[in-house]
Amino acid sequence: MLVHALACVPLLIWLYLVLARGGFWRVRRLLRAVDLSKAQGKRISVVIPARDEADVIGASIASLLRHEHVSAVQIFLVDDSSSDGTADVAEAAAREAGLSEKLTILRGTPLPAGWTGKMWAVSQGTAAALGSNPDYLLFTDADILHSPTSIAELVAIAESGHYDLASYMVRLACNTTAEKMMMPAFVFFFLMLYPPAWISSKRFRTAGAAGGCILMRPGALHRAGGIDVIRGEVIDDCALARAAKRSGSRVWMGLAHATQSIRSYSTFGEIERMIARTAFNQLHHSALLLLLTIAGLCVTYLAPPLLLISGKPFAMACGAAAWALMTAAYLPMVRFYRLRAVWSITLPAIAAFYLFATADSATRYWRGLGGHWKGRFQDARSS
């Protein structure tokens, strides 16, 4: 009987995830149609932190300048000690669009103690952006290619739902084999951790946002404590959403129809390093949480296929049912990324990869190499 009870655990987990986890896997619910007329007349200040982003910043700036349905967009780019001509590329993009006056480039000042590089750049950009008295701030990354209506969509969502913070999880690049296997799962896991239905509900404390595209009312940022309150955060987007919700603001997160990241990950190694940069920080650097996470990944994702080959009928039936639920839950995300349905059965293998990356993240942290990004270790253990 004990063996039968243990075999049921993965199935029970997936029944909970599918039926009681806020419908996180129901992708169509996260693609929201809006009345863009609600965005008319709103002034938007865009803050972009950029460090060695010459390969992507030009396209990002050009896309922001092609905005529709909002009256005024002013871009504040903070050049965080770039060595590749990031600012020059940004200026050229604005000049080519004939809108140089819409771009303000700020040269980042030296990084003070207690701040991550990105947050210090965002802080400087925000201070300048607030001087233009905007209706909304848009925090975005240098690799985001915005659709012409993306800003208006977020403003309309905020206006119609009375949200103080509205965020898009943009489409991630999904061209290479590594990206096809890992990027849809990255979004799937993120939504599982932060179910959007719970984020927008006052009944739940859950708060999350996707840092590539966050729209926020200046007053809400002030109530939350400003950028200073998240100055040392590595997973800054979710930290900002938590601070906003704690202060009484309403928060929304969904999927973008067309806005996308153009940052490419050609190899599995690049994706592993991207995950390892923040995974252990997500676990608050706790060895206990790391062990529990590894155990949870094993039971939830790896046990179903193992049960399927156990040779014991009851265990095989439980494993098959759990894997079927897992596949069914993942399929909408696979289709959202326009991949063949067969990719949806690969989640156990993908989870094994994420398990390795999470363990590697802990190892990097303990070695003093945590949060490595463009020459900085932003999550290293203090000696």
Nearest alpha-carbon partner for 365 in 281, 268, 269: 281
pLDDT digits (tens, 9 = 90+) for 328-364: 999 999 999 999 999 999 999 999 999 999 999 999 9
Residue 251 CA to residue 263 CA, distance in Å, equals: 26
For residues 100-128, give the mean pLDDT: 95
* Strand, helix or coil for residue 67: coil
Q: Which one has a higher pLDDT value, 375 or 23? A: 23
288 class by beta-carbon count within 10 Å (0-12 exposed, 13-18 middle, 19+ buried): exposed
Between the ranges 3-17, 236-250, 269-283, where is the mean pLDDT highest? 236-250
- Binned at pLDDT 50, 70 and 90, residue 6 comes out as confident
Is residue 72 within 8 Å of residue 41, measured between CB atoms?
no
Residue 71 CA to residue 43 CA, distance in Å, equals: 6
| Angle made by CA atoms 86, 271, 260, in degrees to the nearest 5 | 55
Share of the chain above pLDDT 90, in %: 88
311 class by beta-carbon count within 10 Å (0-12 exposed, 13-18 middle, 19+ buried): exposed
Report all structural domains of the chain as residue ranges with CATH numbers, in order of start.
2-23+269-377 (no CATH), 31-266 (3.90.550.10)
Distances (CA, A) of 354 to 151, 211, 275, 350: 32, 20, 8, 6
Residue 134 CA to residue 113 CA, distance in Å, equals: 30
- Binned at pLDDT 50, 70 and 90, residue 374 comes out as confident
pLDDT digits (tens, 9 = 90+) for 46-99: 999 999 999 999 999 999 999 999 989 999 999 999 999 999 999 999 999 999
pLDDT digits (tens, 9 = 90+) for 289-335: 999 999 999 999 999 999 999 989 999 999 999 999 999 999 999 99
**pTM of the complete model:** 0.94
Residue 319 CA to residue 299 CA, distance in Å, equals: 11
pLDDT at position 159 is 95
Residue 65 CA to residue 59 CA, distance in Å, equals: 10
Residue 49 CA to residue 81 CA, distance in Å, equals: 11
